[in-house]
Chains A and B, each alone.
Chain A
Amino acid sequence: MSRLPEVFKRCKSEKRAALIGYLTAGDPDVNTSKDLLLTLAKQVDILEIGMPFSDPAADGPVIQAASERALASGTHISDVFKLAQTVREANPDIGIVLMGYANTPFVLGFDNFSKQAVSAGVDAVLLVDIPPEEGYLCDPIFKQYGLDRILLLSPTSTDERIKLANKHASGFIYYVSLNGITGANIGEMTSIRQKVDNIRTHTDLPVCVGFGVKTPQQASEVAEFSDGVVVGSHFVGQIPAHARESQNMTTAINHAAQAMKMAIQA
């Protein structure tokens, strides 16, 4: 069973938004990645673990480079599951989401993929290039395994599409704050808020906001009107910035996550 409902319930009882942090599994290599994921997991409510892919067409330069580092250092999908499991063993209550592209579970087989994900302690899956319309491939299987299916909504999503997403999504709705790729500059806060409010009229699921949240100030503003704040590129960017010394990398991610956490709780 997915832990996501419990996570959001807990955050709600503490009267705050959830902090959702992303790192790519295997970035810059499997061993370092394990330390980084364990560090970030201690600070967040939900950890998104990216599955490295050769052709990340929805990602900006920062996360593209993360995928390239992970693949170049020999990260396999089996490592991704192992890393998820390690994080789970150390953190029984956080939410864990696997994030990536359709081809990874498609080639593995959705059944096989789901089985391994659940046994690693994963709660949910976010596949950026499987919209509700193509959900026939994964929805029944994820449901059977009790995995939540996170769906994205964006500024271009019409009311009709919001309703469609609500019908197919579980866990939470991930609102992409801008028309663009990961790591771009965040959109205008008033319009993000309006869209989130609009989405809420169509769904009872928690609505989280991501793509472009880079500063604690932005996180704090987004936290005011959303159920969760997703931070990805800002954390991933610490890895190349501290490439010489993995200890510094861990420290940098820890500091960056603490700052975001404080901003959200304030």
Chain B
Amino acid sequence: MTTDFIYDLSIKHAPDAGGHFEANGTLFGGRFAAETLMQPLQEIEQAFTDAWADPEFHAERLDLLKNYVGRATPLYHAKHLTAEVGGAQIYLKREDLNHTGAHKVNNTIGQALLARRMGKKKVIAETGAGQHGVATATVAAMFNMQCDIYMGREDIRRQAPNVFRMKLLGANVVPVDSGTATLKDAVNEALRVWVANCEDTYYIFGTAAGPHPFPLMVRQFHTVIGQEARAQCLEQAGKLPDVAVACVGGGSNAIGLLHPLQDDDIRLVAVEAAGHGLESGEHAAALAKGKPGIIHGSLSYLLEDEEGQIQGTHSISAGLDYPGVGPELAAMMEAGRLELDSATDDDALQAFQVLTKAEGIIPALESSHALAAGMRIAANMQPNQIVLINLSGRGDKDLNTVMDKLGFQDDTQGVST
């Protein structure tokens, strides 16, 4: 039996009272919501503040994270991958080993506990890759809550295994056909449904974006990632990493890893989905290629045209296929604390295969973006340095996509013995 990990429960780098993260005179974040949602959002904020100050809330949350989710997740020194890349030591934070296969459950456990405290019997959520949907459906099953998951029709097609998982878990998966039928439209639809049902329904927002208090709250629930990784790295390597790398769609795994590291002398790297290339116009790199805008309740970087219409995005990974990004990451970038990097679809596919063969770990396509950039960064560093990469999820859900792309042929068929 291992000793329990001791988490720091203080709230560091809090936004202002209105949920704004200030950088260079711009107030990122905030609460750009319809009037009907203002009171429900204030109630969630109050419930979160009360819960966070309540030792019983944390006792139950941390017990579930340990015994239900399997935290602390390991930090793995990927020696074979390191040897193959040649350069800095690569350490992987194994969020893929969480129950449900990704970091998302850290947040859904926290918010479901909050929903229960608030007396809500029903939860709704949006999902892109389906990981947040699965994580929400999972906790809804455990807490015996009714659960509706909004998912773009295009994503339902791309992520069939996760759709089936959600249904098995008892959730109702509602296809969204409006707009581009992807994650951003699923958020719009979930917001519409929430407005009409805010009295008995809790909206479990899936990333560190949206109206205040979601960016703060989702971050706090995910800082377990960075807190553990920091301590584990010190313990295993005797020092902190030189670079920490995470993929960014909305940015929940990135803020979870990077937030607890920002006061250390560590390079923090956010890897966005470059799709077919940053210059192709077909990507999801909101920080690199977007500009400030307002969508889904907060002010942040956004892929939009010159009249503020939100642009369609492209990424091989549905979880990164989102035109916005969490406001705190935007503020960190604006303040110069965050380095930007990106990986194309092809880079991610390549990294996916490299890790699988080198270490016997099949990463999610989202995480493969972080791997691709992390390996590139490590290759240009010294062996006595450390690159920490957040392996935010496992790749089982992506096997169909990868099979498609690699033209997989089942050559075990028809072979006579």
Contact = CB atoms under 8 A, between A and B. Distances in A.
Given A71-B309, A104-B307, A181-B195, A161 B32 contact: no
A153 B302 CA distance: 28
B279 interface: no
Nearest to A59: B192
A152 B309 contact: no
Contact of B293 (A107, A156, A161): A107
B35 A131 contact: yes
Interface string B30-73: 11111111111000000000000000000000000000000000
B132 to A, nearest CB: 18
A134 B38 contact: no
Given A53-B309, A107-B304, A156-B198, A131 B32 contact: yes
Nearest to A136: B27
B179 interface: yes
Q: Which of A68, A103, A176 has most B Cβ within 10 Å?
A: A103
Interface of B is mostly: mixed
Given A55-B184, A152-B34, A153-B35, A103 B297 contact: no
Contact of B18 (A106, A108, A133, A179): A133
Contacts of B40: 156
B192 to A, nearest CB: 5
A71 B296 CA distance: 20
Interface in B191-212: 191-192, 195-199
B294 interface: yes
Interface size class on chain A is 35 or more
Contacts of B174: none
Contacts of A64: 178
B38 A129 contact: no
Given A53-B308, A165-B35, 20 more contacts: A54-B179, A55-B185, A55-B188, A57-B187, A60-B192, A101-B294, A102-B32, A103-B293, A103-B294, A107-B291, A134-B30, A153-B35, A154-B34, A156-B37, A156-B40, A156-B198, A158-B39, A161-B38, A176-B36, A179-B36
23 contacts: A54-B309, A55-B184, A57-B34, A58-B192, A60-B192, A64-B178, A103-B293, A103-B295, A104-B308, A108-B308, A129-B34, A129-B297, A130-B32, A133-B18, A133-B38, A151-B35, A153-B35, A156-B39, A161-B39, A179-B36, A179-B199, A180-B196, A184-B196
Interface of B: 18, 27, 30-40, 178-179, 184-185, 187-188, 191-192, 195-199, 291-297, 299, 302, 304, 306-310
Interface of A: 53-60, 64, 68, 71, 76-77, 101-104, 106-108, 128-131, 133-134, 136, 151-158, 161, 165, 176, 178-181, 184
